[in-house]
Structure 1
């Protein structure tokens, strides 16, 4: 198969411009995602560099070699900046500019500029370093589960290795004379590889941005906006995931006399009490507990694998922690909570969560009827713990 250099250069420039325009369009619609702006700029700048490379022997060498490589190194630096911006890290503009500046400064040295090998080694070292740093940035933050993150990091790392491979190749292989078929072939091959990486990297970064947006939308849909804990929907989803986990205990919390707090002190104090309760409960709830707000002043917690005694002990710990709360807005306000506890006897079926919730609600009703600020266990005979 014959690789036609002018055609591949033209196609590469066209694809990079289109990808850059799509990035910039996406950025204009989601300005908070600055990474899209950096990556769009990287594609446009890279397209300009490929254009200058493709005009070799048509325009002066200081443009097709000196300026072209500086522009290309700037494009690689912007990709690194885009990766850092995507991860919420500071974009090091001086370091991004350092690559092109070092290149231009080196080109002012006649022996360096006259040596093809020296030029290839320096440009490859800087471009590969930018790709490797971008790959490291993405890989370092893989704790955020985005399906396209690992492929993007691996792709950038492979691009870094491919670029760095030019360094030993330059030292070992003789350079073809300007204008020979061998040189034309390498220009075409490099354009083809650049085209493949441009498309692949662009698609993966777009996919990561989409995955993060979807994850954020899911988080918002499953989070109570006031307290930041799971909402009723998320809690029900957690119960469905725990169906096959075995026996599960449910703690149902209701803040005592909460309406009176709102009526007496206002909703600002009421909100502060709700937020304080969540903070106090989360500090003492065990790892693996699914804690959420059902609505108003009512909260629930699922304890997978907990025995009745363990669930009762956890409920009592929460009750005592809440009793020590003193809202900053009203330091003299005493806050208490009533808790109903129920436990499934085996693996939960499709409707068992609602059944468990009903049992805990009965226990909670008894806790409030018996004077509040206490824990009551559900069962054939409701038992008070405290």
Structure 2
């Protein structure tokens, strides 16, 4: 099958233009994602460059060669810039556009402009470098678990390799310097590969941005907006997961800040919010690694500590209670914060979360009834019956 280069270029123009428009439309709906806008501009520039390349022989060569390749190289620099924007790295537009600037300036040198191998080698080296740099930046951001990262790395790396493969080929199997360059099979293969890359990378970049948006939405749903700890829904799900392992003892601690309504009434809700945040910071600093802290609602918090029995859980709860009692704010010398704590353990109350929660809540109620600012541990069922 013979690939028709002008037809491929025309299809590439249409596809690249559509992809660029799609990126810009998506950015219009998600203005915080600057990468979408950069990728959109990059693909529109690539579409215009492909259109100029397709007009080789119709328009002056300095336009179809010099200007077209300057735009194309600039487009690859912008794709790399979009990757950096997506990875929340510093934008280096100076570097991104330096390749295009170098190409444009060298085209003013007759010796370079007249050498087809030199032009192919430089353009391939720069475009391949930007693709490779994009692949490296996506790899460096792998701490953010996005499934589409790896297809993006493969695509960018493969396209960099394709461009760099043109460098030795430019020396051993150069494009024809005379006649119609459009008849070259290498140019047709490059056009076909570029069209496939455009479509594949568009799907991949869109998938990356969609995955991140979904992760952020999930994180927002799982996080209490004021304190930054787990929401009730996320806490219950994580607690049930820990309780599903019968080999691990688990302790559930319920904290309720004493007389919190009085704090709000006396000092205002801003101070009340500060107290809630202060409690979470204090508790998070004193709880053991692996402990899960969540906000159940209002001034009530819960903590699940794996591998803790009643005595160890009591020691942790007492440590948090005492630290909170010594919390002092110089601007509010009369402000005092206390917490009542109820504890239930899987060894005494079983591994059903609802049952464990009821037992911890009963212990918490007992702590409040016995004077507040204290810790109570739920007794085993037989001991309570006695």
TM-score by length of 1: 0.94
Hey, what does 1:38 align to over in structure 2?
Answer: 38
Matches within 5 A, 1:39-188: 39-179=39-179, 183-188=183-188
Hey, what does 1:273 align to over in structure 2?
Answer: 275
Conserved? CA contact 1:244–1:347, under 8 Å? no
- Write the distance in 1 (CA, Å) between the matches of 2:250 and 2:72: 59
- SS of the residue corresponding to residue 372 of structure 1 reads coil
TM-score by length of 2: 0.94
- Write the distance in 2 (CA, Å) between the matches of 1:347 and 1:119: 77
C-alpha displacement at 1:85, in angstroms? 0.9
After superposition, the Cα gap between the structure-2 partners of 1:346 and 1:359, relative to the gap in structure 1 and judged at 3 Å, is closer
Hey, what does 1:315 align to over in structure 2?
Answer: 317
Matches within 5 A, 1:330-345: 330-345=332-347
- Write the distance in 2 (CA, Å) between the matches of 1:248 and 1:178: 79
Hey, what does 2:285 align to over in structure 1?
Answer: 283
C-alpha displacement at 1:347, in angstroms? 11
Structure 2: stretches of 5+ with no match in the other structure: none
* C-alpha distance after superposition, 1:119-174 (max 9, x if no partner): 11111111111111111111111111111112212211221121111112223324
Aligned length: 380
- SS of the residue corresponding to residue 345 of structure 1 reads helix
- Write the distance in 1 (CA, Å) between the matches of 2:39 and 2:349: 49
- Write the distance in 2 (CA, Å) between the matches of 1:160 and 1:298: 55
- SS of the residue corresponding to residue 147 of structure 1 reads coil
- SS of the residue corresponding to residue 347 of structure 2 reads coil
Hey, what does 2:294 align to over in structure 1?
Answer: 292
C-alpha displacement at 1:307, in angstroms? 2.4
Cα RMSD after superposing both structures: 1.9
C-alpha displacement at 1:196, in angstroms? 0.7
Hey, what does 1:198 align to over in structure 2?
Answer: 198
- Write the distance in 2 (CA, Å) between the matches of 1:314 and 1:306: 10
After superposition, the Cα gap between the structure-2 partners of 1:21 and 1:372, relative to the gap in structure 1 and judged at 3 Å, is same
Hey, what does 2:225 align to over in structure 1?
Answer: 225
- SS of the residue corresponding to residue 341 of structure 1 reads strand
* C-alpha distance after superposition, 1:327-377 (max 9, x if no partner): 46524412111111111139976xx11110111111111111222222211
